[in-house]
Amino acid sequence: MSEFDNYTSDHSILFDLDGTIIDSRIGIIETLHKVVSALGHKPDLSIDLTWVVGPPLAELMAEVISAYGETRVNEAITLYRRFYDETGRFQTLVFPAMAELLRDLARSPIRIFTATSKPAFLARQILTEHGLDTCFDAIHGASDNDSGGEKPEMIARIIAEEGLAPHRTLMIGDRRFDISGAHANKLRGLGVLWGYGGVEELTEAGADLLVETPDGLAAAIRGQFQALSRL
């Protein structure tokens, strides 16, 4: 039994991964420092890299290495993929209460998917390591070469491929990219505050609701689906 049993398969939820389901900040930042070192520079630990969780890899890599006068983005991306696969992906934790929520949703008729800027194969590996891959109807993300990670286009693709009803679908994420991607596809976007975006970023992005803690997410989902049912 699930507390979401009164919903139907017309209802669906898209979940961001980093900063929403998993706390991946340490693994990503340490991997970026390894990339900087491999390019021949000493990582400047005073540079704030908390913002790097969420954007597509090519976009964030160009900005990170520009602080060192670097333009070798493609080489940096290749290094990042190797280092992250070797160590970074193991430096992730599931946020408290998220595993329980995902397993409860998986027992319900609601269909759930990932919509992550990570390559889909890597998202699947991480979720498998935490025993959560089978909770999802499908794991969607960027391509193996990191293309296709922009949220508006990705969400549109998921809606089309999975036959989702926008008026019965929610997008849940911690960054402005998640909210803008949701709104570009006429979905409600829930912003979560335990990730890396914060109140100001998510409010400016127009989040339909801000959720403070993971244990409040189930009630927020029910409330948003109830609001959609009145439209």
Query: What tens digit of pLDDT does each residue of 52-95 get?
Result: 877 778 888 999 999 999 999 999 999 999 998 899 888 889 99
- Give 28's Cβ-side CA count (13 Å radius): 23
Asked whether the predicted pLDDT for residue 164 surpasses 80, the reply is yes
Assess if residue 101 is contained within a domain: yes
Q: Cα 65 vs. chain centroid, distance in angstroms?
A: 23
Task: For residue 210, give the CATH number of its domain.
Answer: 3.40.50.1000
Assess if residue 106 is contained within a domain: yes
Asked whether the predicted pLDDT for residue 223 surpasses 80, the reply is yes
C-alpha Rg value of the chain to the nearest Å: 17
Helices (H) and strands (E) in the chain, counts: 9, 8
> 């998917």: which residue's tokens?
113
Torsion angle of alpha carbons 126, 61, 140, 210, nearest 10°? 90
Domain enclosing residue 80, as ranges: 25-90
Catalytic residue among 5, 16, 104, 144: 16
pTM of structure: 0.86
In percent, how much of the chain has pLDDT > 90? 82
16 catalytic residue (yes or no): yes
List of residues 6+ apart from 67 with CB closer than 8 A: 44, 47
